[in-house]
Amino acid sequence: MIDIRGLTKRFGHQTVLDGIDLSIEAGERVVVIGPSGTGKSTLLRCINFLDRPDSGTIRLSNLGVDAKAASRADILALRRRTAFVFQNYALFANRTAKQNIMEALVTVQKQPKAEAEKRALAILAETGLSERADSYPAALSGGQQQRVGIGRAMAIGAELMLFDEPTSALDPEWVGEVLDLMRRIAERRQTMLIVTHEMQFAREIADRVLFMDGGRIVEEGPPDAIFENATDPRTRAFLKRVRSDGSA
């Protein structure tokens, strides 16, 4: 479904992604874990070309994009097939919850406004936010804002959903409602690539867990294999540390 080969990204003299190879099947839920600063979020941003990779190729179904040669049309075609959920919600402050969800439907997918509004209201109902359709982000809790952000990603019907630490900016009281929504999406076999520090959630939702360190995928496998029988000492050290912090 998506095949990534040799994905590399540097910021100055620092190599943040060091030749990443990754394939994800349609309907697969892949969770990326690892210490801060190891390239997890950059991987997601490069897949979506929010950060342009220095080299490598990305193939999503029948669309192939070469990082060095990608045109604006290539990047837009890739983004139409992917949806990105940000850490900090990234909602338009001057648009209501409904309008935030409608935005991409109208401007990118060129849907008529009436059709986009119908879709947005259906998504808001699905996310439990029907009564907040006309609320602006400032009037929403962090959990509600993130649910709108996820709803916006759901609305476009993307082949691949990318989640970049979707609960990291939330107060603890709002984390559960966001994770519950992500579980419901996962149950539909939506293809998902998720960066998270929620280890228990990763164990529950993932078909496969990737551990990243130093800009590389160090180890990968089913959740039980990674969390209970990791073979690489870097993976074991990381999991020992998060367990001592009460995160897993």
- Which residues, including other chains, have CB under 8 Å from residue 92's CB and lie 6 or more apart? 99, 100, 103, 137
Q: What average pLDDT does the segment 228-244 reach?
A: 92
pLDDT confidence of residue 108: 86
Angle at 208 between CA 247 and CA 238, to 5 degrees: 35
The rounded distance, in Å, linking the Cα atoms of 191 and 24 is 8
The rounded distance, in Å, linking the Cα atoms of 177 and 6 is 36
Nearest to 5 by CA among 62, 64, 51: 64
- Binned at pLDDT 50, 70 and 90, residue 243 comes out as confident
CATH number at residue 18: 3.40.50.300
Nearest to 6 by CA among 20, 22, 16, 27: 20
Last residue of a domain, one of 157, 180, 206: 157
Number of other residues whose CB lies within 10 A of the CB of residue 166 = 26
- Domain annotation covers residue 31: yes
Render 153-205 in DSSP notation, one character per residue.
Answer: HHHTT-SEEEEESTTTTS-HHHHHHHHHHHHHHHHTT-EEEEE-S-HHHHHHH
- Domain annotation covers residue 86: no
- Domain annotation covers residue 166: yes
What percent of the chain shows pLDDT beyond 70?
99
Answer whether residue 233 shows pLDDT above 70.
yes
Is the model more confident about 173 or about 194?
Answer: 194
Residues 20 and 137 grouped into a single domain: no
Residues 49 and 102 grouped into a single domain: no
Answer whether residue 96 shows pLDDT above 60.
yes
Average pLDDT over the chain, rounded to an integer: 94
Residues 97 and 193 grouped into a single domain: no
- Domain annotation covers residue 62: yes
The rounded distance, in Å, linking the Cα atoms of 181 and 151 is 9
Answer whether residue 114 shows pLDDT above 60.
yes
Answer whether residue 104 shows pLDDT above 70.
yes
Residues 10 and 63 grouped into a single domain: yes
Residues 153 and 165 grouped into a single domain: no
- Binned at pLDDT 50, 70 and 90, residue 248 comes out as low
Task: Average the pLDDT over each of 80-84, 215-219, 242-246 and give the range with the smallest value.
Answer: 242-246
Over residues 28-71, the pLDDT tens digits come to 999 999 999 999 999 999 999 999 999 999 999 999 999 999 99
Q: Which amino acid is at 188?
A: R
pLDDT confidence of residue 246: 60
- Binned at pLDDT 50, 70 and 90, residue 247 comes out as low
Last residue of a domain, one of 139, 157, 175: 157
Question: What is the tally of structural domains in the chain?
Answer: 2
Answer whether residue 80 shows pLDDT above 70.
yes
Answer whether residue 101 shows pLDDT above 70.
yes
- Domain annotation covers residue 87: no
Residues 170 and 241 grouped into a single domain: yes
pLDDT confidence of residue 18: 95
pLDDT confidence of residue 216: 96
Place of tokens 């979506």: 48
Which tokens in the block code for residue 122?
Answer: 């259906």
| Residue-number span of the structural domain to which 153 is assigned | 92-157
Over residues 151-190, the pLDDT tens digits come to 999 999 899 999 999 998 888 888 999 999 999 999 999 9
- Domain annotation covers residue 39: yes
- Domain annotation covers residue 235: yes
